Structure 1
Amino acid sequence: MAAQKSDEFYKKLREQLAETSKWPSDYLYKFIVPTDGNKIEQINHIFDNTGAVIELKQSKKGKYTSISITVNRKNPDAVIEKYKEVGRVEGVISL
């Protein structure tokens, strides 16, 4: 089970995003999940109605699926909000 990211992690991420990007901006999320239609569907649902472009790629043996999601976010807090939502899906690894 993946550990929840700490407040310190998100604070540092917020600072990095604020320094390196102009907002609003497209942001690329990358996740790895066990290949399970339900888990993939949960992540798709989190990004419903956001205009996200979602790409799926299965690992060689098909055990895991890599999910790349490009979506326009209005600010670093909006980026972090989605990381926290996806973090509640069991077994997800955020890259």
Structure 2
Amino acid sequence: MGKENSEEFYGRLREELQKSTTWPSNYLYKFIIPTDPVRIEQIGSIFNNTGAVIESKKSRNGKYTSLSITVHLENPDQVIEKYREVGKVKGVISL
């Protein structure tokens, strides 16, 4: 995703979150990544000390891991901040 497209995406996401959610609120992130302990740890460290509940499940062939992360956040900007941080981890697909 190019910088302009990502800014447009995050702007729309912020608007939708403001309309659809009462803040503070729990937010569920879903990511798929190649199964790699280093990448899983990188994502886990992004949510350290946030009280996040992280569930992981490997694909049938073990090649990919899905991560479901539920965390209590104060506002849409915090949601977007975490997406930006996770987006720096190589190979992550955000759902």
Tell me the TM-score normalised to structure 1 length: 0.95
1:68 maps to which residue? 68
One-letter amino acid of the structure 1 residue matched with residue 63 of structure 2: K
Q: In the aligned structure 2, how far is the partner of 1:93 from the partner of 1:26?
A: 21
1:12 maps to which residue? 12
1:77 maps to which residue? 77
2:25 maps to which residue? 25
Structure 1 residue ranges without an equivalent (≥5) = none
Query: Which deviations, in whole Å up to 9, do the C-alpha atoms of 1:36-59 show, x marking residues without a partner?
Result: 000000000000000000000000
* Pairing 1:56–2:56 present: yes
Q: Percent identity?
A: 66
What's the RMSD between the two structures over aligned residues? 0.9
Q: Give the aligned length.
A: 93
Q: In the aligned structure 2, how far is the partner of 1:51 from the partner of 1:13?
A: 23
Q: In the aligned structure 1, how far is the partner of 2:44 from the partner of 2:27?
A: 16
Q: In structure 2, the residue corresponding to 1:79 is in which secondary structure? A: helix
Query: Which deviations, in whole Å up to 9, do the C-alpha atoms of 1:7-30 show, x marking residues without a partner?
Result: 000000000000000000000000
Structure 2 residue ranges without an equivalent (≥5) = none
Q: In the aligned structure 2, how far is the partner of 1:26 from the partner of 1:6?
A: 23
2:46 maps to which residue? 46
